[in-house]
Every structure is written in C-alpha cells, then in structure tokens.
Amino acid sequence: MKEFEKNIRKVVPYVPGEQPKIRNIIKLNTNENPYPPSNLVKKAIENFDSDTLKYYPDPTMEKIVAKLADYHKVSKDMVFVGVGSDDVLAMAFMTFFNSQKPLLFPDITYSFYDVWAELFKIYYKRIPLDEEFKIKKEDYYIENGGIIFPNPNAPTGVFESLDTIRNILDNNKDVVVIIDEAYVDFAKESALSLIDEYDNLLVVRTFSKSRSLAGLRLGYAIGNPLLIKYLNDVKYSFNSYTLNALSMEMAAASIDDEEYFKETIKKVINTRENAKKTLSELGFEFADSQSNFIFAKHKSFSASIIFEKLKKNNIFVRYFNKERIDNYLRISIGTDEEMDKFFECLKKIINELD
Amino acid sequence: MKEFEKNIRKVVPYVPGEQPKIRNIIKLNTNENPYPPSNLVKKAIENFDSDTLKYYPDPTMEKIVAKLADYHKVSKDMVFVGVGSDDVLAMAFMTFFNSQKPLLFPDITYSFYDVWAELFKIYYKRIPLDEEFKIKKEDYYIENGGIIFPNPNAPTGVFESLDTIRNILDNNKDVVVIIDEAYVDFAKESALSLIDEYDNLLVVRTFSKSRSLAGLRLGYAIGNPLLIKYLNDVKYSFNSYTLNALSMEMAAASIDDEEYFKETIKKVINTRENAKKTLSELGFEFADSQSNFIFAKHKSFSASIIFEKLKKNNIFVRYFNKERIDNYLRISIGTDEEMDKFFECLKKIINELD
C-alpha cells in the first residue's frame, strides 16, 4: 500500500442492477417503469433553449420546489430536491444520523442503507422482519439514533399500514424517522398525511418509478421546515447546483400531466395483480406486493438457477445472494406484452426443471 | 432546541453568487461563459429520445468517460465524472482527506474548500499567499494530510507555473495533491502533463466555464487508476446514478466541437486582455489574471461602494467581504458588448466618486 493510501476512505460500494447494453432484452431487474414518461416531458425538451445552459441553474430549484409543494399541498420550505432519491437519502444520512446510538432499519431492506451508514461511519443495527417480511413495531422501541425503512419495503414489496408507522413515530419522538416511499404510488396510502403531526418525520420520494423518469435523476423529501433547513445546509455545503436546468423543466412537465401519471400507475397495478395470479399458478410464493415488483420464491426450485436460466434467454430479473432472501427473485412489473414473454419463458424453465 | 436536533450535522453552507431572475441585467458575477454552448449541444437535445428516460442512465457513464479519456489521451480508468466539479471535489475531499494532519490550502482561494472541510470534519490550515497573491511553495513543505489549490487561483485569477506545482508535488509524495483547474482553459498550461509522473496527483476540471455549460452540471477528475478507483468506490457508495442520460449526450456533443471550443476561449481571452487595459486606465490594480475573470481593486475607492452602485445599475459583479480581499471586485469576462456597457457605467461611478 502506498503511503498516500493511508488517509483514504475505504468503502465497499452499493452495486446497482445491471444496465445491459444489448437490445431485445426484457428488463425486469431495476424496477423501472415499462411505460415512457409523459408527452409533456418530450415537449419540455423541445421547448428548452439550450443557450441558457451557459448560466448556472437556479440553486434554490424554485420552479420544481414550488410545483412539488403545490402538488402535495405543503409549503415550499417543506420540500427538498436532489439528484434521485439516493442523493436525497445520502444527504439525509449525513445530516440526521450523527448519534452514538444505533440507526435502526430492517434486516431485509434497500441494500444502500448499510452502504451509506458505512460511508458516513454511522453505527447501525439491523432489526429482523418477521417470517412474513413484516415489521415488528415493538422492536423499534429500543434506544436509537434514528430509524429508516422503505414503505412499501424493497425488495419485498410489503406495505406497512399508517397505524404501524404512527406507532413507531409515537415511540420515537427524539430521533429523525425517515419513510422511504420510492414505491408508494403503487400502494394504498402515503405517510405524507402524518407530516404536520410529527416534526421528526421525513418522507422521501422519487421520479424514477411511478413517473417513468429513472434517467432524469430526481428525488425529493418532504418534512417540517426545520428538517428541510438542516438538509439544505448540508446540501449547500456539498454542491450548490445539483439539478440541471433542463431536468427541472422535465420534472415540472411530468407533474403537469396528472392524467397520464394516474393512467400509467393503474396499468402497472393491473399487470402486477395478474402477475401474482400467474406466479401462484406456477408454484411461486410471495408476500403481497404493493409496489411495481414482486418478490417471489418457488416452492421447489432454486432462485439462482431460475435467475441464470432467465438471463440466458435475455430476460433480466434481480437476484440477491444474501441471508434470508437468497432463494427469492425480484421481478419488476413490465408491460403486459413483456410479462407474457417472461411467463412463457418461466413456464418452460419450470417444466424443464420439473 | 428539539431533542432530535442533537444528532444533526450543523454546518454553515457555501453561498453561491446571485442568480438574479430579472432580465436586462449584465451578469459578471459567477464566472459563466458569455457565449452559448456549441450548436452540437442543441442538436444532441433535439436528437434525444425522451422515452429512454424511463431507464436508469448508465452508472459507469461510459460514453462521456471514454470521450474524455480520448480527448485527454489517458486511459478510461483515469477519468472520474461528477455533477459539476463541486460534486467531484466534494467526493474527493470525502475520499482522500482523512488524516489527523491538516489539509493545506491558500488563505485566499475557492471559498468552498473550508466548507467541505467543515462538512467532513477535516482538520485544515490556510497558508497565506504572498503580497502578490502568489503561492510560497516552501510553506507547503510542512507535515500535512493533503493539499488542494485552484490553478489559476480563484478569486485572484493568478496562475502558478508547472515548476511550482512540480516542486510542491516533489515535496509531498505521501499525500494526495489536488489541482483544481476550473479555469485552466483560459491559462497557459495544465498540470495534466504531470499525471503519469505523480500517482498522488488529481487534476479536476469542469464544463461550466470554458465549455459554456454551467447549467449542465458536469465536472471530472483525472488521476492514476488507483485514485480513480477509490473515488469511484465513494461515489458508488453515495449515489449510483449521478449524471442523467441527456446530460451525457450534451457533454459528449460539446467535446465533439473542438473548433467552437477554441474559438470561444480565444474570444474570452481577447476581451479579458482589453479589459485589463481599461481597468488600469480607470485606476484599478490587479494581479495578472489567466482566467475568465479579473480580481481588481481601485486605487482610491472602496470595492463595496462600487459593487453596490453597479448593482443599482443592474450590473452584477462579485464582492467578498473577507479578510485581505474586502477591497476587491471579481469581474467575470462578458462579451465585448457587455464589457462596453460595464465600463461605461464604471466610468460614470468613478467620476461621481472623484
């Protein structure tokens, strides 16, 4: 090791799902939306004056902050915007979780949480989910330096009721509690309705899933103005201008097309419910998903084998070689056509294994 | 203070230059390029298929990494890309400066350095520049945990020779040395020529100044593959997908138009050299600038008064109310037409004060 390496922060990074460059694949591995973004996004690009790129973008991101505030019926000082919800969450970890007591999150959850904790040297504790991948709320009554979990959870798709969230908040008023709602538009209800009641609650959202804009990189957080102020202080101490000028226009255009947004979500949910039936018929078991993916294991056959066989047929799903979930596949919901092809291939694989 | 505020990281953020929303102003305050980006950037936007935004962008940013590697004649594993050079520098601070010994940088320099040091709790020491705002290289022979300075320096515009940089590198082989070359395209030569020789040297660049793409948010670092690997580990532990798909296309297009790039730089340099003459005639003093701005003080009149009077005339320059430089104005170079209007107004102000 060279001498200058001694002062280097050494971390094991998060590994995102594959983004294969070959064509003619069916991509059900990174929970993207199978439908394109709103036509208004296309128009926003067409109408954009590229000459204005010579200027720095508005550091306050006023246009998109105001749109989001209006959309969610909160004040502008309750909205924080970042480069995808990963950026928002990274900033939130850095801002809020600086306790000597452990940060708590489920043992089966978004696999970036422990990566951020390691990066920022945050002490953390994984709290096991029950056998049905549900949160046991009493486990979160212990002393802690903060709490975070996704709802619906990833990669399980399991949704926790607002009663559970309220109970956890009631028992944790002295720490910041983050509900990571990347997939909530595919579920029943959002914790945003609790924002006014709990000043230590931060709800994080993204344009990557329900808005078909994973390629745009836009995420946001909503919380009381005090939390948002601290978050902005850290953000402005990191990078003044994170969101580019054109991205703000595209994001604003997406919000303007509520009809298309709702229609797309409806289609994904319909396909998901049909997929649940077919998966059951094929011998898969899964907790009920309220997201745009299904986390399933087969009664008889190994997930890793099915994963590899699907991949050979140019169908990509996600497989995590991790404790408790190493026999599961996470299958993102595609279009009906994509799902038909997926199930056709899956049936063939199951028959061959049988 | 609420209980949950106790675990919050409290910082004083960097304050970027104003981005006034009113029109008909002359904006010489944030070192933007007065010329629009290349026409190829406009075409890249026109040719972009917005439907592809439903997918995550390529996390390896292969297209733009390969372009930059080719452009600078280095291998791809020597290039790191981020959301503006501020993002690159923030990641570099987090990655490389984790020593108990002080990070060294000039007392007059980019005012984000101490903000990042505070954010990441890095111990640092400001090393005074000499009376002519030049680096005294011997001051950097002391024990330290890393070194960073811009070249040309901001906000002074002063350029240090490669001999000075080489000397500092020769005396600091056990720490990472970062040369922040945001403005180097307006100067004589780059430290990139030293990259193969010093494996602890990182050179940071941006598309915001010479490429007229401040609104795009793209910066990059070049260094030996070991440094870039560590930097990527931290980046992938923070946010997998920082650069959006369209930004990559725009950036690649900018690199493809070398002729326009060179022509734009030539125009800015010509205007800068003319501006130096006029400033001298008006009684201003300044160290020789090799960037796209001039850092000047008037022999008789206070910078803050001139700053306010210019602002009242809708002309924005930058004023720093800081020790040693509180009588200076930083004037970004605009078009010839903008500079004519600026000088017309400045003459009037000086005459009134006289």
Mean pLDDT for B349-353 is 95
Rounded CA separation B72/B79 (Å): 10
User: Maximum CA pair distance of chain B?
Assistant: 62
Task: Show the beta-strand stretches assigned E in A160-307.
Answer: 177-180, 201-206, 219-223, 284-286, 293-298
Return all residues near B249 (Cβ < 8 A) that are at least 6 apart: B44, B45, B47, B48, B63
Which of these CATH numbers, 3.40.800.10, 1.10.1740.10, 3.40.50.620, 3.40.640.10, describes B39-256? 3.40.640.10
SS3 A14: coil
Within 8 A of A97 by CB-CB distance, chain B residues are 7
Is CATH 3.40.50.620 what the domain over A39-257 is classified as, yes or no?
A: no
Q: Where are the domains of chain A?
A: 3-37+259-353, 39-257
Q: Which CATH architecture has domain B17-37+259-353?
A: Alpha-Beta Complex (3.90)
pLDDT at position A147, please?
A: 98
Within 8 A of A27 by CB-CB distance, chain B residues are 55
Number of residues that make up chain A: 354
ipTM over the 0.85 cut-off: yes
Which of these CATH numbers, 3.40.50.720, 3.90.1150.10, 3.90.550.50, 3.30.70.20, describes A3-37+259-353? 3.90.1150.10
pLDDT at position A172, please?
A: 97
Q: Do B13 and A213 touch (CB under 8 A)?
A: no
Residue type at position A245: A
CB nearest B54 (choices: A36, A59, A240): A36
How much of chain B exceeds pLDDT 90, in percent? 94
Within 8 A of B13 by CB-CB distance, chain A residues are 232-237
Categorize the per-residue pLDDT at B1 as very low, low, confident or very high, splitting at 50, 70 and 90: confident
Tokens at A226, concatenated? 């005090």
Nearest to A50 by CA among B224, B216, B22: B216
A130-145 tens-digit pLDDT: 999 999 999 999 999 9
One DSSP character per residue, A196-225 reads TT-TTEEEEEESSSTTS-TTT--EEEEE-H
Mean pLDDT for B298-311 is 97
Which residue, chain included where needed, has tokens 């694989």?
A349
SS3 B111: coil
Tokens at A106, concatenated? 């489920």
Which residue, chain included where needed, has tokens 């486990």?
A139
CB nearest B55 (choices: A6, A32, A55): A32
Categorize the per-residue pLDDT at A354 as very low, low, confident or very high, splitting at 50, 70 and 90: confident
Q: Is B236 left (phi over 0), alpha (psi -120 to 50) or beta?
A: alpha
B192-208 tens-digit pLDDT: 999 999 999 999 999 99
Question: How far out from the chain centre does Cα B156 lie?
Answer: 12
Q: Do A237 and B12 touch (CB under 8 A)?
A: yes
The single-letter DSSP state of residue B45 is H
Please state, rounded to an integer, the average pLDDT across all residues of chain B: 96
Does B18 have pLDDT greater than 80?
Answer: no
Q: Do B97 and A52 touch (CB under 8 A)?
A: no
Q: Do B14 and A230 touch (CB under 8 A)?
A: no
Q: Do A98 and B7 touch (CB under 8 A)?
A: yes
pLDDT at position B354, please?
A: 86
Q: Do B8 and A98 touch (CB under 8 A)?
A: yes
pLDDT at position A19, please?
A: 78
Name the burial class of residue B285, with classes exposed (0-12), middle (13-18) and buried (19+) by CB atoms within 10 angstroms of its CB.
exposed
pLDDT at position B17, please?
A: 77
pLDDT at position B24, please?
A: 84
A215-244 tens-digit pLDDT: 999 999 999 999 999 999 999 999 999 999
B19-52 tens-digit pLDDT: 777 778 999 999 999 999 999 999 999 999 999 9
Question: Are B160 and B153 spatial neighbours (Cβ–Cβ below 8 Å)?
Answer: yes
Does A28 have pLDDT greater than 90?
Answer: yes
Rounded CA separation B99/A9 (Å): 10
Question: Are A25 and A310 spatial neighbours (Cβ–Cβ below 8 Å)?
Answer: no
B162-175 tens-digit pLDDT: 999 999 999 999 99
Rounded CA separation A322/B227 (Å): 30
Mean pLDDT for A304-331 is 96
Mean pLDDT for A324-343 is 97
pLDDT at position A1, please?
A: 86
B198-241 tens-digit pLDDT: 999 999 999 999 999 999 999 999 999 999 999 999 999 999 99
SS3 A330: strand
Does A312 have pLDDT greater than 90?
Answer: yes
* Residue B25 to chain A, least CA–CA distance (Å): 13
Determine the angle formed by the axes of helices B258-281 and B245-256, rounding to 10 degrees. Answer: 80
Does A18 have pLDDT greater than 80?
Answer: no
One DSSP character per residue, B209-277 reads STTS-TTT--EEEE--HHHHHHHHHHHHTT-S--S-HHHHHHHHHHHH-HHHHHHHHHHHHHHHHHHHH
pLDDT at position B241, please?
A: 94
Within 8 A of A7 by CB-CB distance, chain B residues are 96-99, 145-146, 175-176
How much of chain A exceeds pLDDT 90, in percent? 94
Rounded CA separation B159/B180 (Å): 12
Question: Are A320 and A213 spatial neighbours (Cβ–Cβ below 8 Å)?
Answer: no
Q: What is the 3-state secondary structure (H, E, C) of A16-54?
A: CCCCCCCCCCEECCCCCCCCCCCHHHHHHHHHCCHHHHH
pLDDT at position A24, please?
A: 84
Number of residues that make up chain B: 354
* Residue B286 to chain A, least CA–CA distance (Å): 26
pLDDT at position A210, please?
A: 98
Return all residues near A144 (Cβ < 8 A) that are at least 6 apart: A99, A101, A102, A103, A104, A125, A172, A175
- CA dihedral of residues B15, B207, B233, A314 (deg, nearest 10): 130
Rounded CA separation B189/B30 (Å): 23
How much of chain A exceeds pLDDT 70, in percent? 100
